């Protein structure tokens, strides 16, 4: 950090005071304005125009709130599949070239005794459903003359398939579900299907957001009053958080006009918006109190605060945004949506923290400490519990380092047994109608639960070759039957001709359908897909589709890109922290410690949700024995981003003290003292925000809340209090080493004031 000084001149005007250099009581003349550090100039400008800046921010907050709230109606509830995968291509070919059509809604109709005895009432009900605008056809047990495949295992439940080509499938689904499900006379009607589940998730997430906010905001507000020490200061984070959340809603709404955006990303907007609002307000107010004690002028204190803490906020926001941008690498719009949300939140939180907060501080001045709830001076002290902890750790660095690493590795161990899955209706509360419908269909129509494995052969071989391939396929133990354009094959033998042969082939393609009772969204389903794809088929191109293939492709599309995301995060960490500190070792240390903390978090997540433990803490959910792969990737990236946030906070102060001439030991102790309380308080408050997601009825949102909460608490306590001081004590002067050519690079383009 560059520090410039000049001689003191009496009776200067406010513009001169706002232009003072760092850590001095002197004034630079207007001719030196071009040499004033960038963030100090920003702070001076905001302090000078505090009222226009604050009023403009509040007006914008109202405007974006009015338009941003429309985001809820524009969100999508799917986005877990890879649109470029073989299974997605197979689905498109089957729909476009073969005219296959999945039902919009699957109905399970439970009768008192038998479907035949309730035929009159059931047929009347289905006729009403068929008359709904947008419905093309209803195929049911009754319309097929009592087809056995439409009769449930208990003999009392029948199935009906509702087909609709309406462009507004959501409206059709909503009308049918709202009007015709539940108790209908002596019938009980359950509705299932992609749109049904999507609508259920949308409604669940909207309710969950309201519940989470009603839990998190009051508790956060009370704790903020205690942490900040005054009621006035405690209100400032909500100024940033409110603008960030509403602004991000508007950004997502605009993006949704051009591409799909997942409804689940709104949880990140509220959680991360509050988190960064609290983080950045804590950092800036804490530094403002220090500067206010060191100088008489409030505008000068604001300028220096923005020059120091403001720069840290900028670097932190950039680090969080770049980390969350790594989610754009994944092809699923579910994960891309979190990247959109994370980037928007990070940028808007920085803008609010560098404009609205300094403007309000310039207006409040020493009144920021009004309505105190804690006795004594609220100005941070140089000696305290965190400094003592740091010095104790640095007296015994090796035992602390090795012991802490061992603890984290023990926590990480369950991650080795992770079984990856994907979100389905079981992620909804067990009493949700869509989840109940899925359960009824699984129990009463087990053959339908598995869903067929659709195989498309491009430029196929001769009919004899296709028949031979179908027979080989049918010999796989998990496959019950195989249907080709010509025949139905069971256990290697043709049992019947295909009655709809004309719809199974085109001029350059043919389709094959394999039916299995293996659950598709399951490792066994993924293994069966791999086995089918491993067979040598008589065609130039073979595409395997169906629900199991879609799940396998979605899982693999995440896993195949993990190394790219990891490389992105590693490079981003190395570059940003080097530009911030000028050190080569510190960024490497940050990556290593973040990986340890993340591994422990993933281990805890697997133990709890895959194993079904701690339901007293997480709330009730349906344990499937798997962990959603997309949520796992999401938690890892968010946790890494927030750990970078805290890394920047701590390093900023440690480097400032080291640059001022202190030894590494003293710099670490003082840096931890000055930031430890901030990081711990921020972590506790953010943990409360994300822990409120445990109230969600959606299991993947519970996993998100639990995973991020554990990661935050581990990072802000174990990592920052134990691993960082012990590592930096062992490294000593090597912490700040860089080759000469890199030092010159840092002097030219480093993220430092000057």
Per-residue pLDDT tens digits for 603-624? 999 999 998 898 888 888 888 8
What pLDDT, on the 0 to 100 scale, is given for residue 371? 77
Reported as a pLDDT band with limits 50, 70 and 90, residue 148 is confident
Reported as a pLDDT band with limits 50, 70 and 90, residue 188 is very high
What pLDDT, on the 0 to 100 scale, is given for residue 598? 93
User: How far is it, in rounded angstroms, from Cα 378 to Cα 540?
Assistant: 74
Query: Alpha-carbon torsion 128, 133, 138, 143, what sign?
Result: positive
Place of tokens 């030092």: 743
More confident residue, 241 or 686: 241
User: Over the range 355-391, which residues count as b (16 or more CB within 10 Å of their CB) and which as e?
Assistant: bbbbbbbbbbeeebbeeeeeeeebebeeeeebbebbb
Reported as a pLDDT band with limits 50, 70 and 90, residue 376 is low
Q: Within 660-738, where are the H helices?
A: 664-691, 699-714, 724-731
| The listed CATH number (3.40.1360, 3.30.70, 1.20.950, 3.40.50) that belongs to domain 452-545 | 3.30.70
pLDDT surpassing 60 at residue 268: yes
Angle between helices 169-180 and 119-130 (to 10 degrees): 150
More confident residue, 754 or 89: 89
Same fold, 104-192 and 452-545: yes
What pLDDT, on the 0 to 100 scale, is given for residue 210? 82
Place of tokens 């000057």: 754
User: How far is it, in rounded angstroms, from Cα 683 to Cα 673?
Assistant: 15
Nearest 10 degrees: Cα torsion 670, 649, 240, 259: -170
Average pLDDT over residues 96-123: 89
CA distances in angstroms from 390 to 45, 212, 403, 574, 718, listed in the order given: 38, 35, 16, 25, 12
Label the pairing between strands 453-460 and 493-497: unpaired
pLDDT surpassing 60 at residue 71: yes
At the second CATH level, the architecture of 104-192 is 2-Layer Sandwich (3.30)
More confident residue, 623 or 180: 180
Chain segment 279-296, per-residue pLDDT in tens = 898 889 888 988 888 877
Question: Is residue 539 helix, strand or coil?
Answer: strand
Task: Report the candidate in 275, 346, 282, 350 with the shortest Cα–Cα distance to residue 686.
Answer: 275
Radius of gyration from C-alpha coordinates of the chain? 31
pLDDT surpassing 70 at residue 229: yes
What pLDDT, on the 0 to 100 scale, is given for residue 53? 95
Q: Are 372 and 230 in contact (CB under 8 A)?
A: yes
pLDDT surpassing 80 at residue 448: no
Average pLDDT over residues 400-423: 92
Reading the block at residue 168, the tokens are 């507004």
More confident residue, 329 or 519: 329
Q: Which phi and psi angles does 141 have, rounded to 5°?
A: -55, -40
User: How far is it, in rounded angstroms, from Cα 171 to Cα 177?
Assistant: 10
**Contacting residues for 6 by C-beta, under 8 A, at least 6 apart:** 21, 24, 26, 27, 28, 29, 32
What pLDDT, on the 0 to 100 scale, is given for residue 530? 93
Q: Which phi and psi angles does 370 have, rounded to 5°?
A: -65, 155
Long-range contacts (CB closer than 8 Å, 24 or more residues apart) made by 741-745: 742/578, 742/582, 742/584, 743/582
CA distances in angstroms from 537 to 95, 469, 540, 739, listed in the order given: 22, 6, 9, 58
**Contacting residues for 86 by C-beta, under 8 A, at least 6 apart:** 543, 544, 545, 549, 553
Q: Are 332 and 260 in contact (CB under 8 A)?
A: no
Flag the least confident range among 3-12, 307-316, 383-392, 708-717. Answer: 3-12
Angle at 327 between CA 324 and CA 328, to 5 degrees: 115
Reading the block at residue 464, the tokens are 């004899």
User: How far is it, in rounded angstroms, from Cα 341 to Cα 250?
Assistant: 10
Average pLDDT over residues 442-454: 73
Angle at 283 between CA 239 and CA 222, to 5 degrees: 55
Reported as a pLDDT band with limits 50, 70 and 90, residue 414 is very high
Mean pLDDT score of the chain = 86
User: How far is it, in rounded angstroms, from Cα 24 to Cα 402?
Assistant: 43
How do the domains of the chain map onto residue ranges? 1-36, 104-192, 199-419+557-749, 452-545
More confident residue, 62 or 674: 62
Question: If 0-12 CB within 10 Å is exposed, 13-18 middle and 19+ buried, where does residue 310 land?
Answer: buried
Q: What share of the chain is helix, strand, coil (3-state, %, to 5)?
A: 65, 10, 25
What pLDDT, on the 0 to 100 scale, is given for residue 26? 36
pLDDT surpassing 90 at residue 745: no
Beta bridge partners of residue 496, listed in sequence order: 488
Average pLDDT over residues 6-22: 38
Chain segment 696-740, per-residue pLDDT in tens = 888 888 999 999 999 999 988 888 889 999 999 999 889 989 898
What pLDDT, on the 0 to 100 scale, is given for residue 215? 85
Flag the least confident range among 101-115, 401-415, 512-526, 591-605. Answer: 512-526
pLDDT surpassing 80 at residue 381: no
What pLDDT, on the 0 to 100 scale, is given for residue 419? 86
Reading the block at residue 726, the tokens are 């012990």
What pLDDT, on the 0 to 100 scale, is given for residue 534? 92
CA distances in angstroms from 14 to 44, 47, 182, 300, listed in the order given: 10, 10, 71, 9
Chain segment 480-503, per-residue pLDDT in tens = 889 998 888 888 888 888 877 778
What pLDDT, on the 0 to 100 scale, is given for residue 601? 94
Chain segment 628-646, per-residue pLDDT in tens = 888 899 999 999 998 888 8
CA distances in angstroms from 388 to 17, 300, 399, 653, 715, listed in the order given: 37, 32, 17, 17, 19
What pLDDT, on the 0 to 100 scale, is given for residue 8? 35
Query: Alpha-carbon torsion 502, 506, 509, 515, what sign?
Result: negative
Chain segment 25-66, per-residue pLDDT in tens = 333 434 445 567 788 999 999 999 999 999 999 999 999 988
Beta bridge partners of residue 182, listed in sequence order: 189
What pLDDT, on the 0 to 100 scale, is given for residue 374? 67
What pLDDT, on the 0 to 100 scale, is given for residue 700? 87
Q: What is the full DSSP assignment across 449-515?
A: HH--EEEEEEEE--HHHHHHHHHHHHTSTTEEEEE-SSEEEETTEEEEE-TTGGGSB-SSEEEEEEE
User: How far is it, in rounded angstroms, from Cα 13 to Cα 105?
Assistant: 73
User: Over the range 613-649, which residues count as b (16 or more CB within 10 Å of their CB) and which as e?
Assistant: eeeeebeebeebebbbbbbbbbbbbbbbbbbbbbbbb
Q: What percentage of the chain reaches a pLDDT higher than 70?
A: 92
Q: Within 229-332, where are the H helices?
A: 231-234, 236-256, 265-294, 298-305, 311-325
Average pLDDT over residues 422-430: 83
| pTM of the shown model | 0.83
Question: If 0-12 CB within 10 Å is exposed, 13-18 middle and 19+ buried, where does residue 506 land?
Answer: middle
Reading the block at residue 263, the tokens are 């409804």
User: How far is it, in rounded angstroms, from Cα 273 to Cα 531?
Assistant: 45
Question: Is residue 188 helix, strand or coil?
Answer: strand
């Amino acid at each position: 950090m560059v520090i410039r000084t000049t001689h003191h001149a009496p009776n200067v005007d406010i513009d001169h005071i706002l232009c003072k250099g760092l850590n001095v009581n002197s004034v630079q003349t207007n001719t030196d304005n071009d040499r004033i550090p960038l963030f100090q100039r920003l702070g001076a400008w905001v302090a000078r125009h505090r009222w226009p800046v604050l009023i403009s921010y509040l007006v914008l907050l109202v405007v974006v709130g009015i338009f941003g709230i429309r985001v809820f109606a524009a969100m999508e509830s799917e986005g877990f599949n890879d649109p470029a995968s073989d299974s997605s291509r197979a689905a498109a070919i089957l729909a476009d070239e073969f005219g296959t059509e999945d039902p919009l809604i699957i109905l399970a109709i439970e009768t008192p005794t038998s479907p035949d005895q309730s035929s009159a009432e059931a047929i009347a009900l289905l006729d009403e459903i068929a008359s709904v605008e947008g419905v093309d056809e209803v195929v049911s047990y009754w319309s097929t003359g009592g087809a056995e495949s439409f009769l449930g295992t208990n003999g009392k439940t029948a199935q009906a398939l509702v087909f609709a080509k309406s462009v507004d499938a959501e409206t059709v689904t909503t009308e049918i579900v709202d009007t015709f499900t539940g108790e209908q006379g002596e019938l009980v009607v359950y509705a299932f299907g992609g749109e049904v589940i999507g609508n259920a998730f949308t409604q669940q997430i909207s309710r969950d957001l309201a519940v989470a906010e009603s839990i998190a905001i009051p508790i956060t507000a009370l704790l903020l009053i205690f942490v900040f020490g005054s009621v006035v200061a405690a209100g400032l984070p909500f100024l940033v958080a409110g603008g960030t959340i509403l602004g991000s809603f508007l950004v997502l709404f605009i993006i949704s006009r051009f591409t799909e955006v997942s409804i689940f990303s709104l949880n990140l907007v509220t959680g991360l918006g509050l988190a960064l609002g609290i983080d950045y307000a804590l950092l800036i107010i804490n530094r403002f109190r220090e500067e206010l004690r060191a100088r008489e002028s409030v505008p000068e204190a604001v300028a220096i605060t923005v020059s120091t803490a403001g720069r840290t906020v900028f670097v932190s926001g950039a680090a969080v945004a770049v980390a969350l941008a790594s989610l754009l690498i994944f092809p699923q719009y579910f994960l891309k949506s979190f990247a959109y949300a994370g980037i928007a939140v990070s940028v808007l939180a920085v803008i609010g923290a560098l404009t609205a907060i300094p403007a309000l501080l310039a207006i409040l001045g020493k009144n920021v400490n009004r309505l105190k709830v804690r006795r004594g001076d609220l100005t941070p002290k140089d000696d305290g519990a965190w400094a003592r902890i740091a010095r104790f750790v640095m007296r015994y660095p090796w035992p602390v380092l090795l012991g802490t690493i061992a603890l984290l590795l023990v926590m990480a161990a369950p991650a080795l047994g992770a079984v990856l899955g994907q979100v389905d209706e079981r992620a909804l509360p067990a009493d949700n109608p869509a989840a109940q419908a899925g359960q009824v269909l699984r129990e009463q129509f087990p053959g339908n639960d598995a869903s067929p494995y659709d195989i498309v052969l491009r430029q196929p071989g001769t009919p004899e070759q296709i028949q031979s391939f179908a027979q080989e396929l049918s010999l796989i133990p998990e496959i019950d039957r195989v249907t080709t354009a010509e025949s139905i094959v069971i256990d290697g033998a043709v049992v019947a001709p295909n009655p709809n042969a004309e719809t199974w082939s085109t001029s350059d393609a043919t389709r094959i359908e394999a039916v299995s009772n293996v659950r598709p969204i399951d490792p066994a389903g993924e293994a069966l897909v791999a086995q089918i794809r491993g067979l040598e088929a008589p065609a130039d191109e073979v595409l395997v589709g169906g629900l199991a293939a879609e799940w396998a492709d979605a899982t693999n599309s995440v896993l195949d890109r993990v190394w790219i995301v990891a490389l992105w995060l590693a490079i981003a960490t190395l570059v940003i922290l080097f530009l911030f500190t000028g050190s080569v070792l510190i960024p490497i240390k940050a990556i290593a410690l973040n990986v340890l903390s993340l591994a422990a978090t993933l281990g805890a997540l697997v133990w709890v949700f895959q194993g079904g433990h701690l339901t007293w803490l997480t709330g009730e959910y349906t344990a499937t024995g798997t962990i959603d792969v997309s949520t796992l990737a999401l938690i890892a990236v968010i946790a890494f981003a927030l750990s970078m946030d805290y890394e920047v906070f701590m390093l900023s102060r440690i480097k400032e003290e080291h640059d001022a001439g202190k030894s590494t030991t003293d710099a670490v102790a003082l840096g931890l003292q000055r930031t430890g309380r901030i990081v711990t308080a921020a972590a506790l408050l953010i943990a409360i925000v994300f822990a409120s997601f445990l109230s969600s009825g959606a299991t993947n949102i519970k996993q998100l809340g639990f995973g991020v909460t554990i990661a935050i608490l581990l990072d802000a306590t174990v990592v920052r209090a134990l691993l960082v001081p012990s590592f930096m004590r062992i490294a000593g002067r090597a912490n700040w080493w860089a080759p000469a050519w890199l030092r010159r690079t840092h002097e030219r383009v480093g993220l430092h004031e000057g």
